Amino acid sequence: MATKCGKCGPGYPTPLEAMKGPREEIVYLPCIYRNTGTEAPDYLATVDIDPKSPQYCQVIEAEDIHAKCGLGYVHTSHCLASGEVMVSTLGDPKGNGKGGFVLLDGETFEVKGTWEQPGGAAPLGYDFWYQPRHNVMISTEWAAPNVFRDGFNPAHVEAGLYGSHIHVWDWQRHEIVQTLPLQDGLIPLEVRFLHNPDAAHGFVGCALSSTIQHFYKNQGGTWSVEKVIQVPPKKVKGWLLPEMPSLITDILLSLDDRFLYFSNWLHGDLRQYDISDPHRPRLTGQLFLGGSIVKGGPVQVLEDQELESQPEPLVVKGKRVPGGPQMIQLSLDGKRLYITTSLYSAWDKQFYPDLIREGSVMLQIDVDTIKGGLKLNPNFLVDFGKEPLGPALAHEPRYPGGDCSSDIWL
């Protein structure tokens, strides 16, 4: 785990050793003003999450993002053993689909070129994760930026404009060797290998189909994928469509590869699964944190395969929380989850207008790592609606020394 590519960080030799590291004290979050009506640059917020600090739950620093990086339509970044930074792309400068990868200098962050072979980009892109000991990288696909950037249009689903495949790359040759279609796998977003560098298993969260897909290496060296979790849609009234998907927008794995977590941004719940058997995940924790189906809202649930009644709205420290659980980050020891509530400003505006008016929040969940289970910390709330320049939309939390969603052991 490193604070910047090519330099020594805390130096944890294994994921299990990382779990013994010190408790997190600050977290970084990119914060967005686009589509909020505030004319201000996006920025990187540093938030104090040390319970012993007098600035607990406060933004203590904000830095202009675009002064550092001028790239557009990019998503995931990972450090490489070479000291370079690899960044996935979602499209070309015109907003057409292009699932390629950009290499940056690990010190200056200047663009050095593309990672894939010339002309070898995937048709669509989003997230990626690599596992060098198996000479493999897996990438996912959302849609072309021209499709999703102004909001969700159901006609684009009928037209087949959203991704439904994962791509298997040869890590050494930098080229696609397999493209795997997904059963009930529309909009595969976040991808995670198990943290054990010898493991040949991983998971992908498919947002629109509301499924978790398990991919694994076959004995002959090829890769396969199977659906292992399905969150059923809810029949509703007063919403965009007659059925509401859960919309799985983020997933992550604990460093000991025991638990899988994912967020259902529309339904409003966070889930924990035991993945000791990756072919058969077992639900061990579930917690509702807002969402579109809360009581007293505009949506009436007509038929629900999971719940007997609509959940109560979430109120933390006197504030009714807008939006639903979206980006998630886990402490190194696996005992605390941090949750933000904004997905993408155009989609926020469409599905949760209150987010645009009030800004997003960050919450903290206590995790039972023995029996499984999730419990809200009622004393933790970071309210980005109180930022000096106006309500902001906070995205993915990251730690300075590495975390469960960014670190790869070689």
- For residue 100, give the amino acid letter: G
How many C-beta atoms surround the C-beta of residue 182 within 10 A? 22
Q: Which pLDDT score is estimated for 311?
A: 97
Tokens 């993915």, residue?
Answer: 396
DSSP 17-76: HHTTSPPP-EEEEEEE-TTTT-----EEEEEE--TTSTTTTEEEEEEESTTT----SEEE
Predicted pLDDT at 193: 98
CA 303 to chain centre: 28
Domain boundaries, the chain: 70-383
pLDDT confidence band for 59 (50 / 70 / 90):
very high
**What is the reported pLDDT for 107?**
86
- pLDDT higher than 70, residue 3: no
Provide the pLDDT for residue 337: 98
pLDDT of res. 37: 74
Q: How many CB atoms lie within 10 A of CB 130?
A: 18
What was the pLDDT predicted at 68?
47
Q: Residue 311 and residue 301: Cα distance in Å, rounded?
A: 11
Name the strand (E) or helix (H) holding 15.
helix 15-18
Q: What angle is formed at CA 341 by the lines to CA 337 and CA 343, rounded to 5 degrees?
A: 115
How far apart CA 251 and CA 206 sit, in angstroms, is: 10
In this predicted model, what pLDDT tens digit does every residue of 261-282 receive, in sequence order?
Answer: 999 999 999 999 999 999 999 9
Overall average pLDDT of the 181-186 stretch: 96
Instruction: Give the C-alpha separation, 4 to 1, whole Å.
Output: 9
Report the C-alpha dihedral over residues 244, 275, 77, 177, rounded to 10 degrees. Answer: -90
pLDDT of the residue at 147: 96
Architecture of domain 70-383: Beta Barrel (2.40)
Is 200:186 a contact under the CB 8 Å cutoff? Answer: no
pLDDT band at 41 (very low <50, low <70, confident <90, very high): confident
Residue 325 in contact with residue 290, Cβ under 8 Å?
Answer: yes
pLDDT digits (tens, 9 = 90+) for 78-137: 889 888 989 999 988 888 999 999 999 888 888 899 999 999 999 999 999 999 999 999
Mean pLDDT in residue range 30-41:
78
CB-based contacts of 219: which residues, under 8 Å, 6+ apart?
none
pLDDT at 64: 66
Distance in angstroms (rounded) separating the CA atoms of residues 197 and 195: 6
Rounded to whole angstroms, how far apart are CA atoms 335 and 17?
A: 15
Cα–Cα distance for residue pair 175/161, rounded to 1 Å: 23
Average pLDDT over residues 357-370: 97
Based on the number of CB atoms within 10 Å of its own CB, is 332 exposed (0-12), middle (13-18) or buried (19 or more)?
A: buried
Which element (helix H / strand E) includes 283?
Answer: strand 282-288
| Rounded average pLDDT over 17-36 | 89
Q: What is the mean pLDDT of residues 165-191?
A: 97
- Do 339 and 364 form a contact (C-beta atoms < 8 A)? yes
* C-beta atoms surrounding 238 within 10 Å: 11
